Structure 1
Amino acid sequence: MFADSKHVSIQLPSKDFHIVSYIFHERLTADCAWKSLRYIPTIPTNVANISFAHNNIRGIKNGIFRINHDLIYLDLSNNNISKLHQRSFQGLSKLETLIISNNSINHTAIPNNIFKPLVSLLQLAIKRNFNHPFSLHVSTLYIDISNNAFYVWQGPISNLTCLTYLDISNNFCSNVSTNFFEYGSNLTTLLIQNNLLGFVLPTDTNGEILAKLTKLKLLNLADNRIPSLPTTIFYSQTEIRMLNLSRNMLENEIFKIDHMTKLSYLDLSYNRLSTLCASFTRQLDILSNNVPNIAVNLLGNPIKCSCESIEFIKWYTSTNVHVLNNLHQECQSLQINFNSSKLMYGYLKKTCSSHTTTIVTVGSWLTIFAIVIIAGIAYRYRWKLRYAYYIVKGKHHGQIKPFEIDDDFLYDAFVSYADEDDTFVYTKFLKHLEDDRNIRCCVHKRDFLAGNDIATNITSAIHNSRRTVVIISHHFLESDWCLFEFNMAKMESIYARSKENIILLVFLEQISSKDLPLNILELIQSKSYIEYPNDEYGDVVFWDKLKETLSV
Structure 2
Amino acid sequence: MSSKKLALYVCVAWMMAIIGSCFATTCPPDFGGRCICGQASYNGKERYLVNCTNTHFNDAAMLEKLPIQTEVVIFTGNNVTSMPWNVFGKMNDYPYLEVIDMTNNNIQEIKGKTYHHVKNVKTLILNHNQLNITGDKTHPRIFSNFVNLESLHLTNAFSESVDSKEYLVALEQIFVGSNLTKLAKVHLEQNEIWSIKNPNIFCTLPSLMDIQLGDNNMSDISFNVGCIHNLRFIDLRNNKIHSLSNNTLSKFEELPDQGLGVKLDLMGNPFICDCQIADLLNWLRTTKVDVLQKESYICYDGLPASNANEQLYNVHQIQCAFAPKQEYQGTTVLLGILLFLMTSLILIIGYMNFTSVRAGTIALWEKVVHRGQYTHILSKPEEQEVHV
**TM-score of the pair, normalised by structure 1:** 0.51
Q: Which residue of 2 aligns with 1:224?
A: 191
Q: Which residue of 2 aligns with 1:107?
A: 59
Name the SS of the counterpart of 2:127 in structure 1: coil
8 A contact 2:49–2:70 mirrored in 1 = yes
Quick check: 1:213 aligned with 2:184?
no
Aligned residues: 326
CA distance in 2, matches of 1:316, 1:122: 44
8 A contact 1:175–1:200 mirrored in 2 = no
8 A contact 1:223–1:247 mirrored in 2 = yes
How far residue 189 of structure 1 moved from its aligned partner, in angstroms, is 0.9
Quick check: 1:165 aligned with 2:165?
no
8 A contact 1:304–1:327 mirrored in 2 = no
Matches within 5 A, 1:173-188: 173-175=131-133, 177=138, 178-188=140-150
Quick check: 1:259 aligned with 2:227?
yes
Matching residue within 61, 80, 102 for 1:145: 102
Matching residue within 164, 169, 189 for 2:151: 189
Max radius of gyration: which structure?
Answer: 1
1:173-230 CA-partner distances (Å, limit 9, x unpaired): 2336222212223110111112225626522547212222221112111111223222
CA distance in 1, matches of 2:17, 2:158: 41
Sequence identity percentage: 17
CA distance in 1, matches of 2:311, 2:106: 50
Matching residue within 72, 75, 80 for 1:123: 72
Matches within 5 A, 1:33-44: 43-44=19-20
Gaps of 5+ in 1: 1-7, 12-21, 31-42, 66-70, 76-94, 388-483, 504-552
1:495-522 CA-partner distances (Å, limit 9, x unpaired): xxxx32389xxxxxxxxxxxxxxxxxxx
Structure 1 residues 252 and 292: CA distance shift in structure 2, 3 A: closer
Give the partner amino acid of 2:157: N
Quick check: 1:335 aligned with 2:297?
no
8 A contact 2:273–2:299 mirrored in 1 = no
Structure 1 residues 219 and 58: CA distance shift in structure 2, 3 A: closer
Structure 1 residues 109 and 237: CA distance shift in structure 2, 3 A: closer
1:244-285 CA-partner distances (Å, limit 9, x unpaired): 111223344322122223322211122233332333222222
Name the SS of the counterpart of 1:335 in structure 2: helix
8 A contact 1:274–1:304 mirrored in 2 = yes
CA distance in 2, matches of 1:290, 1:309: 21
Give the partner amino acid of 2:363: N
Give the partner amino acid of 1:160: V
Q: Which residue of 2 aligns with 1:347?
A: 317
CA distance in 1, matches of 2:61, 2:169: 38
How far residue 243 of structure 1 moved from its aligned partner, in angstroms, is 1.1
Q: What's the C-alpha RMSD, in Å, of the aligned pairs?
A: 4.0
CA distance in 2, matches of 1:327, 1:489: 75
Structure 1 residues 149 and 502: CA distance shift in structure 2, 3 A: same
Structure 1 residues 219 and 493: CA distance shift in structure 2, 3 A: farther
8 A contact 1:251–1:271 mirrored in 2 = yes
Structure 1 residues 340 and 123: CA distance shift in structure 2, 3 A: closer
Name the SS of the counterpart of 1:311 in structure 2: helix
Give the partner amino acid of 1:277: S
Structure 1 residues 375 and 29: CA distance shift in structure 2, 3 A: farther
Q: Which residue of 2 aligns with 1:376?
A: 342
Matches within 5 A, 1:435-454: none
Name the SS of the counterpart of 1:107 in structure 2: coil
CA distance in 2, matches of 1:169, 1:195: 5
8 A contact 1:122–1:142 mirrored in 2 = yes
Structure 1 residues 266 and 371: CA distance shift in structure 2, 3 A: same
**TM-score of the pair, normalised by structure 2:** 0.69
Q: Which residue of 1 aligns with 2:380?
A: none
Higher relative contact order (CA 8 A, sep 6+): 2
Name the SS of the counterpart of 1:240 in structure 2: coil
Gaps of 5+ in 2: 1-8, 42-46, 366-388
